[in-house]
Structure 1
Amino acid sequence: MKRMISVKEEKTTVNKTLEKAGTGKELTREDALELLAIRNGSADYYTLLGTANAEARTRFQGRGTIFAQIGLNASPCPANCGFCSLVKDVFKEKNSFLLPVETAEKMADALVGQKVDELFLMTTANYPQADFLEYAARIHKHLPKGMRFVANLGDFDREYAKKLREAGFTGVYHIRRLGEGRDTQLPPEQRLRTMDAVRDAGMELYYCVEPIGPEHTAEELADEIFRAKDYPVEVMAVMKRVCVPGTKLYEHGEISAAELAKICAVTELCVKPKRAMGVHEPDELCLMAGANQIYAEVSVNPRDLNLSTETGRGASIARTHALLAAAEWKR
């Protein structure tokens, strides 16, 4: 008589690393590499996404988060990053502009009024540091008490980090990018020194594995995942590279939404950020794979040839609210 196969026996066996991740234990670099090697679309792939999703919703108590960023200037940037719309090899000097501070103040008021959680100010790497402090002081006056205020700018030293804090900034978005020093004209060591300056000044460091392209290896991704753990950070993110026409890395293409979701899930499970796990650009699949935070952007966006990104690639506040609601993250 033929033996009946039980439902339990029919189920695909989840490997030990996924089981470890599901219990909330600390994952090693080797664990991360194993998870990053999971085949997209396999049973283990969906177990990975589900595990990260469940853990993130518990840690963040089911709450989604919206950050907003105002791009202040556009000019040919000497960092010449191979993925950016503002690099000197792509951006034309004649199109340079500085967002009037009065306009930025109105943008900040509008974003605050639409219930964003944190506000970021972004400049090109060569924007004058003294001017940035003056600009930021004006914007800071428009923020409600207790709202986090985050700088996204070029490299700086410890003394300037203290000035940023005195100007009202609570944190800085700064990373060692994938391919730093190869795909950019910025020394990796310089990026790390700036990150140390942020930490030493008592501000919060925001980190991200980015800009992820098809050519980046699992080892490269793991380097940045575990760099974030070493600092450590309370806000983590992943970001795919967007193919900007004319840039050096355009021909390399982009990773799929499925691949980004896998990287998001692995990053969430490894870093376990306390406040937020972000994805950029806003992505519904990642919001079901461990991410609970997305960005809305206005003015300049380094992934957009449109200098008013709110009419281009940049997500509106309405869209970010809708995306979070669709993934059942509470606001």
Structure 2
Amino acid sequence: MSPEPRREDVLRLLSYAPDSAQTAFLGRLARQTAREVAGDRAGVWAAFGVDTAPCSMSCAFCAFGASWGVVRESHEWAQEEIVAAARRYAAEGASWIVLRTTEHYGRERLEALAKAVRAVLPPSCALVANTGQMAVEEIRNLGRAGVQMMYHALRLGEGRDTPFDPAERRQALRRIGEAGMELAHLVEPLGPEHADEEIADVLLAALEAGAKVCGVMARSNVPGTPYGGAESVSDARLAQVAAVIRLCGGVNTPHVCVHPPVSQAVAWGANVVVVETGAIPRDKKEAAADWRGFSMDDARALLLRHGYVVGGA
């Protein structure tokens, strides 16, 4: 295991202009690092939003926030629909199948759903849970149900755009490792206003917690939420952050994800892109098919175009 990078080094890499020659050099170096660390292998992160409901937490960037009135009714997808989608994504080559649930779904129900989904997945496809903060034994119960990885994050703006205590989020990250579960953690939701210092701190939190899948996700400015109408982060900045994550993660973080699927970020070392369906906290409406039309075929084509071997990431 290599040591985590120094904060001052992360800040230096983030400080260059996204369209500068220095950042272009870092991008090329990040792509070479992906070749050496990941063996040029890439994968697709296929996520299913299991349920949607107005949420009392009302995070400023989330369409589910009850205070915004964007999502007014609760809805759950049937287990057979989720299992069918998981089977399809796995058959089409997804490396991870992700079950994303709200706090309302319930731990025992999530365990039962995980068992049903795991039963139709090949051994090469990992099952991931993206849900609320959990105790160590609850995480272990998910592991017994077939979950191999948890998605959890210290968000950008934690405690400012969210009601959550950043210290508690950091503790929740540590519990995932204590329970013997692998961690996935993106630097998110990234907007143009986020300073280098905050990005560096969130990235270091992910690396210190041992994230095997890391990366960056742009904020979707959903109309009706506090960020509706706000400026979006540029593709160039998203690609720069992905490159910095690749360079800082080194051998400890073979999988670097970018969402949405920005081509420049894939060219600069990101080897994971996301396909998703169902309930989407970054949209006013649920997705009956692939969100924003980005399919498994599209994901595979993008990764292949940048020289990756797709599958088994």
Report deviation, 1:229.
2.2
Letter of the 1:131 partner, please give it. Answer: R
Q: Where does structure 2 lack aligned partners over 5 or more consecutive residues?
A: none
Map of 1:89-168 to 2, 5 A cutoff?
A: 89-91=67-69, 95-168=73-146
Deviation of residue 152 (structure 1)?
0.1
Deviation at 1:256, TM superposition (A): 0.2
Q: Distance in 2 between matches of 1:222 and 1:57?
A: 24
1:210 partner amino acid: E
Aligned to 2:15: 37
Superposition pairs of residues 217-296 of structure 1, within 5 angstroms: 217-272=195-250, 273-296=252-275
Q: 1:315 to 1:198 in 2, by over 3 A?
A: same
Q: Which residue of 2 aligns with 1:58?
A: 36
Output the CA distance in 1 between the equivalents of 2:11 and 2:178.
31
The Cα of 1:304 is off from its aligned counterpart by 1.8
1:200 paired to 2:166: no
Specify which structure has the bigger relative contact order, considering alpha-carbon pairs within 8 angstroms and separated by 6 or more residues: 2
Q: Confirm or deny: 8 A CA contact 1:301 1:309 kept in the other structure.
A: no
Larger Rg computed on CA atoms: 1
Query: Given that residues 95 and 124 in structure 2 are in contact (C-alpha distance below 8 angstroms), is that contact kept between their aligned partners in structure 1?
Result: no
- 2:167 corresponds in structure 1 to 189
Q: Give the match's secondary structure for 2:276.
A: strand
1:149–1:168 Cα contact (<8 Å) kept? yes
After TM superposition, the score normalised by the length of structure 1 is: 0.88
SS state of the match for residue 64, structure 1?
strand
Shift of 1:94: 5.0
Deviation string, structure 1 residues 213-267 (Cα, Å, up to 9, x no partner): 1121100011011112212222111111111111112343211000111111111
Q: Work out the CA distance in 2 between the residues paired with 1:115 and 1:66.
A: 8
Q: Partner letter of residue 159 of structure 1?
A: E
Could you tell me how far apart the structure 2 residues matched to 1:25 and 1:108 are?
36
- Of residues 12, 28, 48, the one that matches 2:6 is 28
1:309 positional shift = 5.8
Counterpart CA distance in 2 for 1:267 and 1:93 is: 33
In the superposition, relative to structure 1, how do residues 223 and 74 fare at CA in structure 2: closer, same or farther (>3 Å)?
same
Equivalent residue for 1:49, pick from 12, 27, 39: 27
Residue 194 of structure 2 corresponds to: 216
Match of residue 284 from structure 2: 305
Would you say how many aligned residue pairs link Structure 1 and Structure 2?
Answer: 308
Q: Distance in 2 between matches of 1:154 and 1:314?
A: 28
List gaps (5 residues or longer) in structure 1: 1-23
CA distance in 2, matches of 1:197, 1:277: 22
* Cα distance change of structure 1 residues 275 and 258 upon mapping to structure 2, 3 Å threshold: same
- Contact kept, 8 Å, 2:277 with 2:289, in 1: the verdict is yes
Q: Is the 8 A contact 1:298 1:314 kept in 2?
A: no
Indicate how the Cα distance of structure 1 residues 92 and 214 shifts in structure 2: closer, same or farther if over 3 A, else same. Answer: closer
3-state SS of 2:28 partner: helix
Quick one: which amino acid aligns to residue 220 of structure 2?
V
- Taking structure 2 as the reference length, what is the TM-score of the superposition? 0.93
CA distance 1:159–1:27, shift in 2 (3 Å): closer
Could you tell me whether the CA contact under 8 Å between 2:90 and 2:125 is conserved in 1? no
Match of 1:70 among 32, 41, 48: 48
Q: What secondary structure does 1:156 align onto?
A: coil
Q: What is residue 20 of structure 1 aligned with on the other side?
A: none
Q: Over aligned residues, Cα RMSD in angstroms?
A: 1.9
